[in-house]
Amino acid sequence: MKRYLDCNATCPPVQQALEASARAAVEAVGNPSSLHWAGRAARRIIDDARDTLAAYVGCESGSVVFTSGGTEANNIAIHSVLSGVESGRVICTAIEHPAVLQPLQRASEHGFEIVSVRPDAHGVVSAEAMIDAITDDTRMVCMMLVNNESGAIQPVQQVADYCRDRGVPILVDAVQGLGKLSLDFKSVNVDFMSLSAHKIGGPKGVGALLVKRGVKLQELSPGGGQERKRRSGTENVPGIAGFSAALGQIDFSQFAPVRDAFEQQLADKIPEVSIVSKDATRTANTSLFMLPGMDGETLLMQLDLAGFAVASGSACSSGKREASHVLLAMGLNDTAARSSVRVSFGPGNSMDDAEALVNALVTVRQRLRAMAGIR
């Protein structure tokens, strides 16, 4: 039996999104930039989706720039701010997604000083520490709303308030917050917020950057001037239609009892398990845990053979496995950081999945220990 428990990586598409995408693909044959009836039909789909998204996240429709996803949204915001200034500081949390860390790494190669602020042992970055790092030459602040590995919610509002008072642009990567926390772009009052459709049951390859009114956006890839000259390229009409149809379709809070039961049963059966960010405020569907003496990647592969799709905290890039930068930033050593597994619940998951996964983890752990000669 196959069980999918990796919804922070991507959430299975909801029916409403699939239908809206299919309808748009079939019915809106024109290019939304074309002036004829077929173009206008496609344009109407985008306009409606823009209004729906804006209403859902509490912003004006004019603030929505559709992108190819969260990665592009983050890149556009960072590029836009930093391409307009000579050099200086950029403050970020040490637990940002690579979609923020990598563009900042590139900025550092162009002379920007990147200051990354570490979280506490619970995986939460203090607002005070972020604020303390802001100096007169700070060009930008980047702070995620929810960490994708641990689910820990970050104190964005306090930092946003300070940035606004100081006139420092701030980007909030809200990709893991959309659909899990109630978002109100206007009241958070940040310059930029990035979103992605596929984390909430929408199509892959579509997202949005919300841009505060009055903030000018410097295009990352100049071209035909779509999205009011903020993001060129023919819009992904089926993707955008699916994105807007997915909004609000999944109530992620419903997975809290399943997640909590999973963690309780796991702790009962494997007492040495350590649940990451257990004492932080977390999104309801996420469980990141470490099994001392185990390798997360090996566990993941064994679980895969048993039909479970979960994630390990370590990242595999160019064939080299790296320990989770989130856990390292929390002060854990390399071995501990490699022993992590992330389970993220979503549509279709039940108590039965939680129980089955615990039992599978017990079996796999016993097998691996026996192979290593540990009783």
Ligand X SMILES: Cc1ncc(COP(=O)(O)O)c(C=O)c1O
Nearest-angstrom CA–CA distance, 141 and 169: 6
Nearest-angstrom CA–CA distance, 263 and 268: 9
Whether the CB-CB separation of 235 and 66 falls below 8 Å is answered with yes
Contacts of 303 (CB under 8 A, 6+ apart): 310, 341, 357, 360, 361, 364
Q: Which of 52, 148, 236, 302 binds ligand X (CB under 6 A)?
A: 148
Chain centroid to Cα 132, Å, comes to 25
Sign of CA dihedral 160, 53, 124, 101: negative
> Judged by CB under 6 A, how many residues of this single chain contact ligand X?
12
For residues 86-105, which are near ligand X according to CB under 6 A? Answer: 97, 99
Residue closer to ligand X (CB basis): 343 or 356: 343
Interface stretch with ligand X, choices 26-34, 65-73, 227-235, 359-367 (CB under 6 A)? 65-73
Contacts of 312 (CB under 8 A, 6+ apart): 296, 297, 299, 300, 340, 341, 342
Residue 219 found at the interface with ligand X (CB under 6 A): no
Interface stretch with ligand X, choices 123-131, 135-143, 173-181, 238-246 (CB under 6 A)? 173-181
Residue closer to ligand X (CB basis): 20 or 311: 311
Cα three-residue angle 259-261-262, rounded to 5 degrees: 65
Nearest approach in angstroms of CB 364 to ligand X is 25
x/- binding map, residues 186-205, to ligand X, per CB under 6 A? ----------x---------
Nearest approach in angstroms of CB 277 to ligand X is 15
Per-residue DSSP letter, 96: -
316 as an active site residue: the answer is yes
Nearest approach in angstroms of CB 315 to ligand X is 11
Nearest-angstrom CA–CA distance, 12 and 19: 14
Residue 63 found at the interface with ligand X (CB under 6 A): no
Residue closer to ligand X (CB basis): 173 or 235: 173
Q: Which of 173, 219, 235, 353 binds ligand X (CB under 6 A)?
A: 173
Interface stretch with ligand X, choices 32-40, 66-74, 163-171, 234-242 (CB under 6 A)? 66-74
Q: Report in angstroms the alpha-carbon separations of 85 from 115, 173, 314.
A: 17, 22, 35
Q: Which of 13, 32, 70, 179 binds ligand X (CB under 6 A)?
A: 70
Nearest-angstrom CA–CA distance, 338 and 324: 7
Residue 123 found at the interface with ligand X (CB under 6 A): no
Q: Which of 59, 92, 142, 316 is catalytic?
A: 316
In terms of C-beta density within 10 A (0-12 exposed, 13-18 middle, 19 or more buried), how is residue 268 classed? exposed
Per-residue DSSP letter, 312: E
Residue 7 found at the interface with ligand X (CB under 6 A): no
| Token pair listed for 119 | 């979280």
Residue closer to ligand X (CB basis): 45 or 175: 175
Question: Which amino acids are annotated catalytic?
Answer: 316
Binding site for ligand X (CB under 6 A): 69-71, 97, 99, 144, 148, 173, 175-176, 196, 207
